[in-house]
Amino acid sequence: MSKLYGISLGPGDPGLITRRSWELLQREDAVWTYPIRSLRKESYALDIVLRAGMALPYTHLPLLFPMTHDTEKLARHWLKAANTVNEVLESGQDVLFLVEGDASTYASFCYLARTLRELNPSAGIEVIPGVTSFNAACATLQLPLSGQDDTIAIVPAAYGIAAVEGMLDDFDTLVLMKVKPLLDDLIDLLARRGLLPHARFIEKAGSPLERIVANVAELKGQKVNYLSLLIVKNPDRPRGALLRGCRKIELQDLEPA
């Protein structure tokens, strides 16, 4: 039976494409699809694959996922994309949907797969996991995403300053995604909380256009790319007692019998 694959490509470096995704991309009998934000924009996911040295197959279909908060407009485009994919699947061909980052993390593929399931409950769907932008950013920065007992929140910055500030009381690491619209306000918040020295900005992680800014305050008033994030550490956050349960090791357990 034909199947839709969510092909995770990592955030920008072709070297982060997994072996499984690479193997699937070698197939000559599958149709490539990839998201575009407008008819005037190129696909960032497709660019990753082309920079990996792969040739665009004869059959390839851009799918429009516009940048809008209009839910009705989005639903129409998701349905149109799902219908396009379903027609290919019903013809007996597999579909490879190219995804920057990981296909299950803030990805257009999630909406495509959900709409396809509603349209055709028997459709085969497989997600190929990949490297997220924040994992790649932490590796580049040599900054651990978490220690053994750290708490982490991964949050679209669009939830607003009040929500982000509330999370600073509960989490040791905040990954703030898509910070472009609120960057100046986030900088003011981090300055007020004394956390600017513990924040790092990264844009287009792993791509040739990657930009890292350690002094986040200097970004105030600047335009940044949509594919940008902030990693904020909160080293002085008060912590409650840990209930370790079976992980608790007593000294006598370490003594030889």
Closest CA to 91 of 33, 24, 34, 29: 29
User: Which pair of structure tokens corresponds to residue 163?
Assistant: 């929500």
d(CA 124, CA 1): 7
Query: What are φ and ψ of residue 101, in 5° steps?
Result: 75, -135
Question: What pLDDT was estimated at residue 38?
Answer: 82
Question: What pLDDT was estimated at residue 246?
Answer: 47
Contacts with 108 (C-beta within 8 Å, 6 or more apart), sequence order: 35, 63, 65, 99
DSSP 138: H
pTM of the model: 0.87
Fold of the domain built from segment(s) 3-128: Cobalt-precorrin-4 Transmethylase; domain 1 (3.40.1010)
d(CA 171, CA 239): 9
| Sheet (strand 199-203) strand order | 152-156, 173-177, 228-233, 199-203, 211-213
Question: What pLDDT was estimated at residue 148?
Answer: 80
CATH 3.30.950.10 describes domain 133-233 = yes
Query: Per residue of the chain (257 residues), what is the pLDDT tens digit?
Result: 899 999 999 999 999 999 999 999 999 899 999 999 887 788 999 999 999 999 888 889 999 988 777 788 888 999 999 999 999 999 999 999 999 999 999 999 999 999 999 999 999 999 999 999 999 999 999 999 988 888 999 999 888 999 999 999 899 999 999 999 999 999 999 999 999 999 999 999 988 899 999 999 999 999 999 889 999 999 988 877 766 654 444 444 445 54
Question: What pLDDT was estimated at residue 256?
Answer: 52
d(CA 214, CA 167): 22
CA distances from 5 to 99, 118, 177 (A): 10, 17, 25
Question: What pLDDT was estimated at residue 58?
Answer: 83
User: Which pair of structure tokens corresponds to residue 148?
Assistant: 């053994």
Question: What pLDDT was estimated at residue 251?
Answer: 41
Domain locations along the chain: 3-128, 133-233
Question: What pLDDT was estimated at residue 47?
Answer: 94
CB of 227 closer than 8 Å to CB of 35? no
User: Which pair of structure tokens corresponds to residue 69?
Assistant: 């908060």
